[in-house]
Amino acid sequence: MEMQRTPKAAAALALCAAAALSAALAAGEQAPPPLALKDLAPKTMLVGAAIDRPQAAGQDPAAVAIVERQFDQVSPENDLKWERIHPEPDRYDFAPADRYVEFGRSRGMFVVGHVLLWHQQTPAWVKAGVDGKPLDRETALARLKAHVDAVAGRYKGRVGGWDVVNEALEEDGSLRKTFWLDAVGPDYVEKAFEYAHGADPAAELYYNDYNLWKTAKRDAAVRLVKELRAKGLRVDGIGEQAHWGVDDPPLATIDEMLAVFGAAGIPVHITELDMDVLPRDPDMWGADLSKQATIRAKTNLYPDGLPPAMQEKLAKRYAECFLLFLKHGVRRVTFWGVTDKSSWLHNFPIRGRVNYPLLWDRDGREKPAFGAVAEALRAHGGL
């Protein structure tokens, strides 16, 4: 019988093993073969990272080496978003996206497409109505179909799974008030899934959002996927972005979210994982520039490096989260970035802070969090 460990106990064990390993290395003992997360993870779990344009073009060799060694899946940080790939009605910029897809394909990785429909990073022309009128249903759907046909169609058979719709839900579980909802009505979500399936029938299709651990949003996502499936549409999974903090959401809440999706028969993908180590403040969102400067000064706590106690806290948090992903059979875990050098969290929710959200530091060195994740995977039964 398999030993049952609580996530906390297992995380503690993982941390001890990681610490023992660092001590052995510091004492000059023979280094063990380097650990690769993709090999330590169960066969049923992909582990990947979002890569940016320079990385996809091979211009960041340190990050590329980490991706090649550690991951069996990639996501595109920006280059498949509408504003990048389809900036004008009759102009597509496929070159960077082609490089991204080829980056993953040539290395035998599972290539994710992100994203077909979103209200952000979408050019103004998509939202504009004809002849100065508000955007109408027909025009909006025609634009969506043309876009999905062109983009998902181009990578047919090469992109393994698409984030079809991103962030369609408000925190209270209602449909987000976006130009898509205004112009088309609530069935824009099913239209997007229908078009995506038509463009690439073999591709997996996901609904992706953030804060799905919040009860109302979580339950709305389950309802949404069930409704889509009841209409005969293909939906392969829910993506929780997982832009989390070191304390929030609590482990019990993550556990519950994964249990709820599991009970509903919906596979879960953790699609944009990172851990913000800096304080968040409700005023950060939409703060004007003068206010931003004050908030930045107050919350940019570690401009010169992450103190050891925080490194350990981050490591423990990562290990505990991975143990939950393993417990619930999460299909994929994608980090939103490779090293701390290029994380979007230096500029979100406000610009110009120094953050430390990933497993490798700015110089591409493994942080304690890397060892802790590796150990969590190993302890679960990897290599």
Residues that bind ligand XIL (CB under 6 A): 77-78, 166, 241, 272, 344
**Residue 355's closest CA among 342, 367, 372, 366?**
342
The token pair that represents 182 in the structure block: 């205004």
3-class secondary-structure state, position 221: helix
Instruction: Give the shortest CB-260-to-ligand XIL separation in angstroms.
Output: 21
At 34, the amino acid letter reads: P
* CB nearer ligand XIL, residue 239 or residue 382: 239
Residue nearest to ligand XIL (CB): 344
* CB nearer ligand XIL, residue 179 or residue 344: 344
Instruction: Give the shortest CB-139-to-ligand XIL separation in angstroms.
Output: 25
* CB nearer ligand XIL, residue 50 or residue 373: 50
* CB nearer ligand XIL, residue 78 or residue 311: 78
Residues counted in the chain: 383
d(CA 381, CA 369): 19
The beta-strand segments (E) located in 228-296 are 237-240, 243-245, 268-276
DSSP one-letter code for 261: H
Q: How far is CA 63 from the centre of its chain?
A: 17
Instruction: Give the shortest CB-204-to-ligand XIL separation in angstroms.
Output: 17
* CB nearer ligand XIL, residue 50 or residue 321: 50
> What's the Cα-to-Cα distance from 5 to each of 14, 43, 167, 320, rounded to whole Å?
12, 21, 35, 12
Long-range contacts from 283-292, C-beta under 8 angstroms, 24+ separation:
284/349, 284/350, 285/349, 287/350, 292/350, 292/351
Residues classed as catalytic? 167, 272
* CB nearer ligand XIL, residue 166 or residue 178: 166
Instruction: Give the shortest CB-118-to-ligand XIL separation in angstroms.
Output: 7
CA atoms within 13 A on the CB side of 146: 14
The token pair that represents 304 in the structure block: 């010169």
Q: Please calculate the CA angle 114-118-121 and round it to the nearest 5 degrees.
A: 85
Instruction: Give the shortest CB-153-to-ligand XIL separation in angstroms.
Output: 22
Instruction: Give the shortest CB-184-to-ligand XIL separation in angstroms.
Output: 21
